[in-house]
Structure 1
Amino acid sequence: MGEYLRRFWLPALQSEDAPTNEGEPYRIKLLGESLLAFRNTEGRVGILQEACAHRGVSLFYGRNEDCGLRCVFHGWKYDVDGHVVDMPNEPPESRFKEKIKPIGYPTAEVGGVVWVFMGQGNPPPLPDFAWVSAEHLVVTKRYQDCNWLAVVEGGVDSSHVTFLHSTLKDDEGKERPNPIPGIGETLQTNDGFPRFDIVETKYGYMVGARRNVADPDRYYWRITQLVLPFYWMAPSPEDGPYYSCKIAVPVDDDNTINWTISWHPQRPISDEDLAVIMAGVGQHVVDVLPPDPSKPYGNCRPSQNRWNVYEIDRERQKRAEFTGVHGLGMQDQYIQESMGVVPDTAREHLGSSDLAVIKLRRRLHQEIDREQDRSAYPYTTNSLRDLRGATMFLDKNTSWIQEIVDKIDLPDVLYES
């Protein structure tokens, strides 16, 4: 799996994590490797292995100076690509530094995100999501103590939203049925058993989850996009304030950086919508512990965590909401972490509502088998540009796939049947 993931660009850090030229390095960890990000004198961001190639000293304590990161032990200096550009403890005529393999990885900085490619050979194109070039977006990330695949599986599981994210009473204390996810409180359903329809694509698959509603002639459809290897787009209302993309990047086998990116294609996210985001009631988790530069991603560790049992409010759980835990994002996180850092899938009993999870596991096995086939890279030009989740009410004889033909170039992205 690790070699498969190295075929892709990985979101590594936010641009704001390395805000200053010649500033302090920022510790990260990806695919089990301890890394450092630093912004050089000219503003370029480099991502290097943390250990100096000489004696293994941590470069976190190095000097960020004159377009390079210099180890304070013996003065070896690295540029943003990881090449040794100065070796002052060797004689001037020495060519020893030319024999040292670079300890850096290629990077790109777009969409407020610094990306890194940790694979072999030339990097593929960056994924062309709409938000990558959007002018108006909000980016947050959080550290999660569980395997990345459990996080992605939670994202494509549409059946849990009727339960995990439901509320029991309105603001006036009146009983109410579960709201339809993503479209507010005015339209409601008690249908806890969505029927799934999954369409395979070159980039991953589309999940259609169908629910019954009060109108006997229509269905409610909730469409989620899964983009390999670890992106998904859950629905926003068709007239919603913004769209969102989620990303689960593996730190190692046991930990994940869970990204949430929200954007609007035409206008800034309004102050009112931003206030909701910053309140942490949705997918963005913004309440974090004080920064700890000694840890990878030490500035995005949630203040709600397993050590304070996620600040669960048992009284609120009884009287107001299903979980008693604040925020949709944290509700997802605490459930996923509660399954263990690497869930024991041998103990599971998957049913018909788990079809998207089953399909994801099978698809990843298929992709790993095709690992050496570079032509199997799942992104094609503009194939991701118009992707987003969707919600819609459709007549029972209307195909949900047909309804999104205008939004996605289906002939280009669907697999041959």
Structure 2
Amino acid sequence: MSDAMPFDRGHTDGLLSFLAASPSPYHAVANAAARLAEAGFQQVHETDAWDGTPGGKYVLRGGALIAWYVPEGATPATPFRIVGAHTDSPNLRVKPVPDTGAQGWRQIAVEIYGGTLLNTWLDRDLGLSGRLTLRDGSTRLVHIDRPLLRVPQLAIHLDRQVNDGLKLERQRHMTPIWGLGRPGEGDLVRFLAEESGLDADAVAGWDLMAHSVEPPAYLGRDRELVAGPRMDNLLSVHAGVTALAAVAEAGTAPAAIPVLAAFDHEENGSQSDTGAQGPLLGTVLERSVAARGGTFEDRARALAGTVCFSSDTGHAVHPNYPERHEPGHHPMPNGGPILKVNVNQRYATDGSGRALFAAACERAGVPWQSFVSHNDMPCGTTIGPLTAARHGITTVDIGVAILSMHSARELCGADDPFLLANCLTAFLGE
């Protein structure tokens, strides 16, 4: 390992724990905030007045977190170095009227969130997580991490052609079972309230989702791979938190103000008050400048010198479907973070961004790879182009190459999480 890389396989061990403890965006930001608090960061509330004193601060809103570290000597026009990521993943989310059933089965009504690979949720033991909102406006996290739900697949004897092409109807075929008998109004809420030590009458709202209860784990003959849920994109959130905490704990004075922006709702377009298309990041950056005595001119100067690394997972070359990948670009697990390029601006990277990313990897002593989509395959997108367009800042799309993206359980190289964390630390601490 390079002397420039403070993180090793121990970082990946921490990622597995983070994934297991973060079944929802609300848990992810709570766990991220706890790690930042260990590094000396303090929570500030959007309704309070802010001051410009040096040190680490963070804002929580729903499933989003914005954290920043103001070093000694920072001026109002000091630029920012931002790591952008998202906390949400495709899954099954509970409907407003959850209790349903048919043919003597008790079931939970769910809605499909994001671009979910539906078949990966079949015949899998599922728990429930998210948050309950109480009548006084407070929230309570929920994490039922035991087999509670299951979406049963139809037996092959009743569908002899299933292996020739599985067709799942989202409304009819994806409703989980969780018991026998007639469904009763309020059954799920009463159950969750009891599990949380609450009175069911105190619960006024909920944001709940299913998650696989199978824990993340190392995989392979030499344990060189990691299998687990929600790597897209908690892998990047975890790396960003680790990098920001490391810069703050180092006690040095980077030339820019390091920032972590972990948004919600990327998987369905980022159009929310906690998504990348919302005003949250811009408001926080503007208030940070103003708290240090800055003007509109200072804010404009700061943003002109700002760079964002938008970190999200990308596609490793699939050995069973190599024809679906661009022939000259085959990212491999454990080959280091990837630079994501799309000339139609589905990714925000350009040649200047490539140079910035390559320099960060060189300082960290980590290898890196390039990713571009096959011309005949539509390219996905990230928060990168949204961040660049909304705030007018230089943005570079990067990430880690994985397989089974948007599955209930994804796969990456065991070395790549810490290689990414080292790259981000070098970038934020410049």
When the two structures are superposed, what TM-score results if normalisation uses the length of structure 2?
0.25
Larger radius of gyration between Structure 1 and Structure 2:
1
Structure with the larger RCO, 1 or 2 (CA within 8 Å, 6+ apart): 2
